[in-house]
Amino acid sequence: DFVRALEEVHPLFGVSEEDLDRCVEGGIIRFSPHVDKILKNGRLFVEQVRSGTTPLLSVLLHGPHGSGKTALAARIAMDSEFPFCRLVRPVDMVGMNEIQKIQHLQKAFTDAYKSPLNVLVLDNIELIVDWVPVGPRFSSAVLAAIKGLMDNKPPKGRPLLILATTSERTVMHQLQLVFKAQIAIPNVRTQQELAHIMQESGAFDPEGISRAIGDIESTTESRDIGVGVSQVLLGIQTAMQDPDRAGRFAEVMAETIADAHGTSV
Amino acid sequence: DFVRALEEVHPLFGVSEEDLDRCVEGGIIRFSPHVDKILKNGRLFVEQVRSGTTPLLSVLLHGPHGSGKTALAARIAMDSEFPFCRLVRPVDMVGMNEIQKIQHLQKAFTDAYKSPLNVLVLDNIELIVDWVPVGPRFSSAVLAAIKGLMDNKPPKGRPLLILATTSERTVMHQLQLVFKAQIAIPNVRTQQELAHIMQESGAFDPEGISRAIGDIESTTESRDIGVGVSQVLLGIQTAMQDPDRAGRFAEVMAETIADAHGTSV
Amino acid sequence: DFVRALEEVHPLFGVSEEDLDRCVEGGIIRFSPHVDKILKNGRLFVEQVRSGTTPLLSVLLHGPHGSGKTALAARIAMDSEFPFCRLVRPVDMVGMNEIQKIQHLQKAFTDAYKSPLNVLVLDNIELIVDWVPVGPRFSSAVLAAIKGLMDNKPPKGRPLLILATTSERTVMHQLQLVFKAQIAIPNVRTQQELAHIMQESGAFDPEGISRAIGDIESTTESRDIGVGVSQVLLGIQTAMQDPDRAGRFAEVMAETIADAHGTSV
Amino acid sequence: DFVRALEEVHPLFGVSEEDLDRCVEGGIIRFSPHVDKILKNGRLFVEQVRSGTTPLLSVLLHGPHGSGKTALAARIAMDSEFPFCRLVRPVDMVGMNEIQKIQHLQKAFTDAYKSPLNVLVLDNIELIVDWVPVGPRFSSAVLAAIKGLMDNKPPKGRPLLILATTSERTVMHQLQLVFKAQIAIPNVRTQQELAHIMQESGAFDPEGISRAIGDIESTTESRDIGVGVSQVLLGIQTAMQDPDRAGRFAEVMAETIADAHGTSV
Amino acid sequence: DFVRALEEVHPLFGVSEEDLDRCVEGGIIRFSPHVDKILKNGRLFVEQVRSGTTPLLSVLLHGPHGSGKTALAARIAMDSEFPFCRLVRPVDMVGMNEIQKIQHLQKAFTDAYKSPLNVLVLDNIELIVDWVPVGPRFSSAVLAAIKGLMDNKPPKGRPLLILATTSERTVMHQLQLVFKAQIAIPNVRTQQELAHIMQESGAFDPEGISRAIGDIESTTESRDIGVGVSQVLLGIQTAMQDPDRAGRFAEVMAETIADAHGTSV
Amino acid sequence: DFVRALEEVHPLFGVSEEDLDRCVEGGIIRFSPHVDKILKNGRLFVEQVRSGTTPLLSVLLHGPHGSGKTALAARIAMDSEFPFCRLVRPVDMVGMNEIQKIQHLQKAFTDAYKSPLNVLVLDNIELIVDWVPVGPRFSSAVLAAIKGLMDNKPPKGRPLLILATTSERTVMHQLQLVFKAQIAIPNVRTQQELAHIMQESGAFDPEGISRAIGDIESTTESRDIGVGVSQVLLGIQTAMQDPDRAGRFAEVMAETIADAHGTSV
Ligand SMILES: Nc1ncnc2c1ncn2[C@@H]1O[C@H](COP(=O)(O)OP(=O)(O)OP(=O)(O)O)[C@@H](O)[C@H]1O
Ligand SMILES: Nc1ncnc2c1ncn2[C@@H]1O[C@H](COP(=O)(O)OP(=O)(O)OP(=O)(O)O)[C@@H](O)[C@H]1O
Ligand SMILES: Nc1ncnc2c1ncn2[C@@H]1O[C@H](COP(=O)(O)OP(=O)(O)OP(=O)(O)O)[C@@H](O)[C@H]1O
Ligand SMILES: Nc1ncnc2c1ncn2[C@@H]1O[C@H](COP(=O)(O)OP(=O)(O)OP(=O)(O)O)[C@@H](O)[C@H]1O
Ligand SMILES: Nc1ncnc2c1ncn2[C@@H]1O[C@H](COP(=O)(O)OP(=O)(O)OP(=O)(O)O)[C@@H](O)[C@H]1O
Ligand SMILES: Nc1ncnc2c1ncn2[C@@H]1O[C@H](COP(=O)(O)OP(=O)(O)OP(=O)(O)O)[C@@H](O)[C@H]1O
Ligand SMILES: [Mg+2]
Ligand SMILES: [Mg+2]
Ligand SMILES: [Mg+2]
Ligand SMILES: [Mg+2]
Ligand SMILES: [Mg+2]
Ligand SMILES: [Mg+2]
């Protein structure tokens, strides 16, 4: 039934498009050459699937909390312009039992076997399997389902690119969840990178930028930044409530940097 | 159906208002500059959400047992005057199974997506996820739900402020329950702070205050107080049954202080 | 419906009264000044609630096995003459699943919100949460329910006193089950205390008492008693089957004392 | 309904009588003064209940595997001639789920509240709670039920004696399953005791007895026996298939003794 | 209903007979005096039950994997010519839940209470209780059922012999699964024993036998064999596909021997 | 019902054939003498079953991730030309509960008892039992089912060959999942083997091959390859998107080699 098939694919596409769009609400700021490299690698994987050379390719985007994994995965997926694009998020499965979660995942993959070119984004895959380091706990049924589905060759002529994101790469190893390729997403690391983002935000003048960065350096007693682009953008938003934006931003960032180090102790 | 929508929102607001009110029955005594700082920070977070700069902001109020977390979260929420204000407490979920708890939480968040400005107070979030240090045990399904819901961007134009309280901050780290911002709520620490509360209570004359404090110092052999404002207020209530209020208060407080130290061994 | 409300409250009261009564079948022998102190403290807590100063007060009576916790909690509750008096015991929940146990507890608290003055006795609270040290095991759902219910402010004008008993005080800390106040119930410790109980029992003449105590001292090679009043009363009952009461009592007590020490190794 | 009550009690009694009877099929051989002491202590506990002095008395018979606990408990129960006598065995609960097991136990206790004098034998109580040392595992629901029921005072004028048996006394401590009194049941320990049993069996002549005992001593290189009366009786049965009874008995006993020591390593 | 009883027993007998038959498809090769000793001991236990001396006798046949436990238990059972003979195997319970497994076991025992002489073979009893050393895991409900059933005296005049097999004897101790008697089933240990089996197989000429044994000795650098008769028979079957039977057999055996040692590291 | 039996077998055969076919989509490149040895051993096991010598034979193909286990098992199964050929994969059981999984396995074995010659491929058997090293976790019910089924002799004249694959051989030992024979599948180990595969792929000219291998050696500072044939083939596919195939291939391979070593730390 061709008409129904179309109906099935279209809304999927639409819904997903919007969802993916929201993942990059903060845009993609090219604050370092790494960002370009990541997007280029993403394009190459897209080509490998589009050309049919590799009919099933799974890629893991891994990096620290807030480093931009979801935004970048969404960007790569949208830029592929594959007719089938689907985002699978933990929140979509809240309140489902294990069986329902597995059916939700199965449906995502089955849908992805219907269109001539397909991309699935599995966001925060460690949460999709309900990973908690205390215990540790996880859903072994959902994990088994993902392993099975990620290993299952799609029908001929229906190549599938899987983009998964995680901030728990070593957990993937422990759970023996294997990907064919990997992309590392780094934190904002240098003062230059931070300055780049501040400038792009349009919230600071050059003087404010250099003052804030100076303040951060003296408070943290270090030139290393080491926080995700997402935390930087939140810091800017918080600073914008304050008449002294640069000062407030430096304050908030210094706290975030300290916290990032502290919590990793 | 606009009328029903209104009906849905109004009672919510009403009920919640009353509940929030009861959380601050003992009032907010400004016994230290920290109290003002906490309330000011709360106001800034409220503005960040009200202005639409940050459409989803989660803040953790953490501190020792009885330090006033719930009262302060309720105060900040009520002072926001956001049209949607909801308190979620562990007791509301007593007797629910995991699925029902998750539905209860989902409903709280879904309701919070309906009004132009929204604040949710998640009180004692470690108990909402049924945390017990023995084992340790917790509900990983409820935890996953909270993670998903706290990470889910509300619809456009429906900004949401989440205020969570906990006396188990390190548990939050262990469970990887991440908040965008944090506010520390300290104990009553100094004799001056204690004296301030005693005086505000109206239960002691100046002489009684200084005598009680002297007694406490000599019993505990220390000038440190280190108990929550809540325990201080209970101590005052207990003392009020006794003709010798100051003496009885000193006795009760000395016990509480000893107990607070002892149990942390 | 006022009549039904009365009906609901009355039988509750009646039934409970009888149950509470049976808890003190052995009477309260004032074998040491501690007993008077405990009862006086109990009365003060009752006043604090009766006067409305503290609308919700939870008190933990803790002490070794058989030291008289249940009897004393029942005594304090009955002496309050509060119109609503309820005893919650583990045996009442035998054969219930977790949900039913929680509903049983919820009903006890809901009933306690109906009368102008209320007292609830939660007997052997570690067994109510199904605590077993092997594992350890416990019902985290029932524990969560108790935490929620004990933290829930009763409606205005319905103050509630909660008296809980336990022989596992450190377990309460581990489970983070917090009480606003505590009363320690000690064992029978000295020969004088033991003699007092023997005499009150009416089963021994003065000569028999001093002979038995001498025998116990020489058998156990110690002047310390260190067993609960309950075991002492059982020892007297066992001795009463024997023509040589004093001798048999000394024998039984020496065994009990040895066992109490042995099992605590 | 008196007639139905009678019907309920009578068959119970009958059935139980037969069951109890089968527990002492091997008779009670008075192979040591301990046996008489055990039976006498049993009689005293029976009197303490019969006289109404102690309306609820729980006694634990503990000792190594096969030492005769079940037979002795059954003997004491039958000798009491109490109108209500009930045996509860693990095998009666095979195939029941936890709820059904608890109901089975509850029914046993409820039945025991109906007659003017009652005795319940809980055989192999560690198996009734499904104890397995690997893990360890046990049914905490059944354990909680037993604790509750054993602590529950019977109605006035319905005194109850509980005789429980176990070969896992320390497990009782670990599970905090507390009995008011205890009786130790020892193994067959000396050659004299063994000779006594051999003679009572009627299977050996005096010469065979002394030869067998000599053989055992030389094989095991020890005068200690240390096995249960039950294993001795089985050894006699096995030996009876052999023309050389004394020789075969010595062989089998030596193996059993070695095994008893070996498995306890 | 006698006719139905017969119907019930007959097919049972028939089915079981065939099943037992298949367990000894490879025959019983008397490759060592141990084999005769085992069969003789088996016959003695059969007599002890047949004569009614011991109405309930449980015997454990234990030994390494493939040593012939099942074949020997089946042989002893069939040689008894008891009218009721039943084999209980783990595979019969595949796909059953715990309750169904227990009912299956109960039915086997209940059936065994109907005939004047009964033998039950519980094959691989560690798998019947779902033992897995990882964890370790096992079904404590099935274990409890087996304990109960194995301890339950059959009705008068219905003696029962239970033959259980296991390759996990120490697990039986850990699980406190107690048998009244035991028979050890050893591996093929010496070159002579191996030669005996090779010859009985009819697959080798004397020269081939001595060549193969020589080869094995030089490859494994040891005269010890230490593998089960079952592996030896499989090795012969594998060798029979090869023109050079003796050479191929030596190769396969050497591998098996190495593996048997290696996996026990 | 013969017609239905045929229908049942035919589609099974068909479906399975196609599935097995897809497992060897990359063909079998004979890059080392090991490959021929593996296929020859496979043929011998096939003959042992075809000839009826061994009516039930289970063989484990074990080796590192991507080493070609599934492809080789499928090849051996298809080359047998047995009328019944079935592939059982973890993905086929996604979303099934334990009972359904067991029924799925039972059906596979029952189907395999119907045809005169049968081969079953159990792919990734550690995932069929839901093994996860964290915990570790696995389905003990499914494991028990597989043990039972793999041990169950097929009906006379219905010999069965079981080929199982795993990358977790030691897990098989731990779970006591025993196979009658084993085949090791090695990684691509030497530069020559790698060159062989590159050449067979037709994607490189001789110069490119030697350049790539040289690059890999200098990047990894080693002549060892140590990755599966599957990863090599993926590397070739990735390199084909790049104008500089040899250079890109070297890059990708070097990363894969590093990763293989790194993750095994
Ligand atoms: N170069 C960039 N890369 C990624 N994100 C960027 C970049 N520049 C700006 N952003 C913005 O930063 C935010 C990154 O947040 P995102 O949720 O993708 O991080 P994340 O790593 O997925 O976080 P989490 O660990 O919480 O899942 C997005 O709002 C995105 O639009
Ligand atoms: N400065 C203050 N800050 C907070 N609470 C105050 C203050 N002054 C008075 N109070 C009163 O003290 C009590 C604080 O109790 P509250 O329940 O909020 O503490 P908590 O930290 O939430 O305790 P818990 O750890 O049990 O949840 C409230 O009754 C409140 O009205
Ligand atoms: N001074 C006393 N205090 C408490 N109980 C007393 C006192 N004098 C006599 N008794 C009697 O001693 C018995 C105490 O037993 P009770 O069950 O209360 O002890 P418990 O500490 O609750 O024991 P358990 O640890 O088993 O719960 C009661 O029968 C009570 O009537
Ligand atoms: N003096 C004795 N005491 C106990 N049992 C005796 C004595 N003399 C003979 N017997 C017989 O010995 C057997 C004891 O077995 P019994 O089952 O009671 O032991 P048990 O300790 O309960 O074993 P288990 O640990 O297996 O439960 C019974 O058959 C009993 O009739
Ligand atoms: N003397 C013997 N004793 C036992 N079995 C023998 C003997 N001689 C030949 N056999 C044959 O060897 C095989 C023994 O296999 P069997 O399955 O009984 O071993 P098992 O110890 O039960 O193995 P498992 O540990 O797998 O249960 C049978 O086929 C049997 O016919
Ligand atoms: N000599 C070979 N042996 C095995 N596979 C080969 C060989 N040559 C080429 N191939 C191809 O390599 C791939 C091997 O992948 P396969 O899935 O069989 O590996 P695997 O060991 O089963 O991996 P996994 O550990 O993921 O299950 C197949 O596509 C197969 O066609
Ligand atoms: Mg993300
Ligand atoms: Mg609070
Ligand atoms: Mg008590
Ligand atoms: Mg017994
Ligand atoms: Mg066997
Ligand atoms: Mg594979």
pLDDT of B3 reads: 38
Distance B192 CA to ligand 2 centre (A): 18
What's the mean pLDDT when you consider all of chain F? Answer: 90
Distances (CA, A) of C105 to C73, C84, C110, C125, D146: 18, 15, 9, 12, 20
DSSP letters for B193-208: HHHHHHHHHT---HHH
Instruction: Out of C240-244, D56-60, D259-263, E118-122, pick the least confident.
Output: D259-263
**pLDDT range class, residue E16, cuts 50, 70, 90:** low
Dist CA B13 CA E27 (whole Å)? 83
**pLDDT range class, residue F12, cuts 50, 70, 90:** very low
Q: Using the beta-carbon criterion (under 8 Å), do A89 and B140 form an inter-chain contact? A: no
Q: Is the pLDDT of residue F20 over 60?
A: yes
Burial of E73 per CB tally in 10 Å (0-12, 13-18, 19+) = buried
Could you tell me if F183 lies within 8 Å of chain E, comparing CB atoms?
A: no
User: What are the contacts of C219-223 at 24+ separation with CB within 8 A?
Assistant: C219/C250, C219/C251, C219/C254, C220/C254, C220/C257, C220/C258, C222/C257, C223/C190, C223/C191
Q: Is the pLDDT of residue E37 over 70?
A: yes
Task: Please report the sign of the dihedral spanned by the C-alpha atoms of residue E163, residue E166, residue E169, residue E175.
Answer: negative
**Tell me: the pLDDT tens digits for E190-246?**
999 999 999 999 999 999 999 999 999 999 999 999 999 999 999 999 999 888 999
Position E140, amino acid = S
Q: How far apart are the first and last CA of chain E?
A: 58
Dist CA F30 CA D59 (whole Å)? 77
pTM of the model: 0.88
The residues pairing with D61 across neighbouring beta strands, listed in sequence order, are: D165, D183
Q: Of the residues B60, B121, B229, B232, which should be mutated to test ligand 2's pocket, given the most ligand atoms within 8 Å of the CB?
A: B229
Q: Using the beta-carbon criterion (under 8 Å), do F132 and A181 form an inter-chain contact? A: no
**pLDDT range class, residue C264, cuts 50, 70, 90:** very low
Q: Is the pLDDT of residue C7 over 50?
A: no
Q: How far apart are the first and last CA of chain A?
A: 58
Distance C232 CA to ligand 9 centre (A): 15
Task: Pick the residue whose CA is nearest to atom 14 on ligand 5.
Answer: E68
Average pLDDT over residues A158-168: 97
Burial of E140 per CB tally in 10 Å (0-12, 13-18, 19+) = buried
Q: Is the pLDDT of residue B32 over 50?
A: yes
Position D60, amino acid = L
Q: For residues F166 and F127, is the Cβ–Cβ distance under 8 A?
A: no
D with B: touching (≥3 Cβ pairs within 8 Å): no
Could you tell me if B137 lies within 8 Å of chain C, comparing CB atoms?
A: yes
Dist CA B255 CA C36 (whole Å)? 20
pLDDT of D243 reads: 87
- Residue F230 in contact with ligand 6 by CB distance below 6 A: yes
Set of chain B residues whose Cβ sits within 8 Å of the Cβ of C51: 241
Q: Using the beta-carbon criterion (under 8 Å), do D90 and E147 form an inter-chain contact? A: yes
> Which ligand is closest to the CA of D26, given by its number?
4
Q: For residues E159 and E201, is the Cβ–Cβ distance under 8 A?
A: no
pLDDT of A23 reads: 87
pLDDT of F260 reads: 84
The residues pairing with C53 across neighbouring beta strands, listed in sequence order, are: none
Helix, coil or strand: residue F253: helix
Q: Is the pLDDT of residue E9 over 90?
A: no
Q: A194-231: b or e for each residue (b if 16 or more CB lie within 10 Å)? A: bbbbbbebebbeeebbebbbebbbeebeeeebbbbbbb
pLDDT of C9 reads: 39
Dist CA F146 CA F24 (whole Å)? 25
Could you tell me if C181 lies within 8 Å of chain B, comparing CB atoms?
A: yes
Q: Using the beta-carbon criterion (under 8 Å), do F176 and E133 form an inter-chain contact? A: yes
Q: Is the pLDDT of residue B263 over 60?
A: no
Q: E163 — phi, psi (to 5°)?
A: -110, 115
Set of chain E residues whose Cβ sits within 8 Å of the Cβ of F59: none
Q: Using the beta-carbon criterion (under 8 Å), do A153 and F237 form an inter-chain contact? A: no
Closest to C52 in 3D by CA, of C208, C209, C157, C196 = C157
- How would you list the strands of the sheet with B118-122, edge to edge? B84-88, B118-122, B160-166, B56-62, B181-184
pLDDT of B65 reads: 94
Residue F95 gets the label, from left (phi > 0), alpha (psi -120 to 50) or beta, of left
Burial of C16 per CB tally in 10 Å (0-12, 13-18, 19+) = buried
What's the mean pLDDT when you consider all of chain E? Answer: 90
pLDDT of E263 reads: 41
Set of chain D residues whose Cβ sits within 8 Å of the Cβ of E140: 130, 132, 135, 137
Closest to B104 in 3D by CA, of B122, B77, B124 = B122
- pLDDT above 90: percentage of residues in chain B: 83
Residue C144 has its nearest CB partner, among B25, B94, B134, at B94
Q: Is the pLDDT of residue A4 over 60?
A: no
pLDDT of D169 reads: 95
Average pLDDT over residues E91-119: 93
- For D37, residues 6+ apart whose C-beta sits below 8 A from its C-beta are none
Q: Using the beta-carbon criterion (under 8 Å), do E151 and D22 form an inter-chain contact? A: no
| Angle, alpha carbons F141-F142-F146 (nearest 5°) | 120
Q: How far apart are the first and last CA of chain F?
A: 58
| Angle, alpha carbons B133-B138-B142 (nearest 5°) | 150
Q: Is the pLDDT of residue C116 over 80?
A: yes
Write out chain D's pLDDT in tens, 265 residues: 433 443 443 334 434 667 888 888 889 999 999 999 999 999 999 999 999 899 999 999 999 999 999 999 999 999 999 999 999 999 999 989 999 999 999 999 999 998 999 999 999 999 999 999 999 999 999 999 999 999 999 998 999 999 999 999 999 999 999 999 999 999 999 999 999 999 999 999 999 999 999 999 999 999 999 999 999 999 999 998 888 999 999 999 999 998 887 743 3
| Angle, alpha carbons E105-E108-E114 (nearest 5°) | 145
Q: How far apart are the first and last CA of chain B?
A: 58
Closest to C216 in 3D by CA, of C158, C170, C258 = C258
Dist CA E144 CA D128 (whole Å)? 9
Distance F250 CA to ligand 12 centre (A): 25
- Residue B184 in contact with ligand 2 by CB distance below 6 A: no
Size of chain E, expressed as the number of residues it contains = 265
Dist CA C62 CA C228 (whole Å)? 13
Other C-beta atoms closer than 10 Å to the C-beta of A103 total 16
Task: Pick the residue whose CA is nearest to atom 14 on ligand 2.
Answer: B68
Set of chain F residues whose Cβ sits within 8 Å of the Cβ of A180: 234
D with E: touching (≥3 Cβ pairs within 8 Å): yes
User: Per residue, what are the HEC states of chain D?
Assistant: CHHHHHHHHHHHHHHHHHHHHHHCCCCCCCCCHHHHHHHHHHHHHHHHHHCCCCCEEEEEEECCCCCCHHHHHHHHHHHHCCCEEEEECHHHHCCCCHHHHHHHHHHHHHHHCCCCCEEEEECCHHHHCCCECCCCECCHHHHHHHHHHHHCCCCCCCCEEEEEEECCHHHHHHCCCCCCEEEECCCECCHHHHHHHHHHHCCCCHHHHHHHHHHHHHHHCCCCCCECHHHHHHHHHHHCCCCCHHHHHHHHHHHHHHHHHHHCC
**pLDDT range class, residue B11, cuts 50, 70, 90:** very low
Q: Is the pLDDT of residue B265 over 70?
A: no
Distances (CA, A) of C98 to B99, C19, C88, D61, E136: 15, 24, 15, 33, 27
Q: For residues B75 and B43, is the Cβ–Cβ distance under 8 A?
A: no
Q: For residues F81 and F117, is the Cβ–Cβ distance under 8 A?
A: no
Dist CA F143 CA B57 (whole Å)? 47
Average pLDDT over residues C218-228: 94
Neighbours of chain C (3+ CB pairs under 8 A): B, D
**pLDDT range class, residue B229, cuts 50, 70, 90:** very high
Average pLDDT over residues C235-250: 91
Dist CA F138 CA B140 (whole Å)? 19
pLDDT of A56 reads: 96
Give the H/E segment covering residue C137. Answer: none
Average pLDDT over residues E21-26: 84
**pLDDT range class, residue F90, cuts 50, 70, 90:** very high
Q: Give E48 to chain F, closest Cα distance, Å.
A: 32
Instruction: Out of A154-158, B24-28, D142-146, F203-207, pick the least confident.
Output: B24-28
Q: Is the pLDDT of residue C126 over 70?
A: yes
pLDDT of C22 reads: 85
Could you tell me if D96 lies within 8 Å of chain E, comparing CB atoms?
A: no
pLDDT of C33 reads: 96
Dist CA C29 CA A209 (whole Å)? 79
Q: Is the pLDDT of residue F6 over 50?
A: no
Neighbours of chain A (3+ CB pairs under 8 A): B, F
pLDDT of B10 reads: 39
**Tell me: the pLDDT tens digits for F225-238?**
999 999 999 999 99
Task: State which residue of chain A sits closest to B131, comparing Cα positions.
Answer: A134
CA atoms within 13 A on the CB side of C243: 0
Cis peptide bond upstream of F136, omega within 30: yes
Could you tell me if A140 lies within 8 Å of chain F, comparing CB atoms?
A: yes
Q: Give D258 to chain C, closest Cα distance, Å.
A: 30
| Angle, alpha carbons C218-C220-C223 (nearest 5°) | 75
Distances (CA, A) of A178 to A91, B178, E49, E146, F66: 23, 26, 59, 43, 11
Closest to F181 in 3D by CA, of F54, F57, F18 = F57
Other C-beta atoms closer than 10 Å to the C-beta of F46 total 23
- For D162, residues 6+ apart whose C-beta sits below 8 A from its C-beta are D56, D57, D58, D59, D119, D120, D122, D150
> Which ligand is closest to the CA of E63, given by its number?
5
Task: State which residue of chain C sits closest to D170, comparing Cα positions.
Answer: C263
**Tell me: the pLDDT tens digits for F182-221?**
999 999 999 999 999 999 999 999 999 999 999 999 999 9
- pLDDT above 90: percentage of residues in chain C: 83
Distance C71 CA to ligand 3 centre (A): 5
H helical segments located in chain C: 2-23, 33-50, 69-80, 98-112, 125-128, 140-151, 169-174, 191-201, 206-220, 229-239, 245-263
Q: Is the pLDDT of residue E71 over 80?
A: yes
> Which ligand is closest to the CA of A23, given by its number?
1
- Residue E166 in contact with ligand 5 by CB distance below 6 A: no
pLDDT of C148 reads: 94
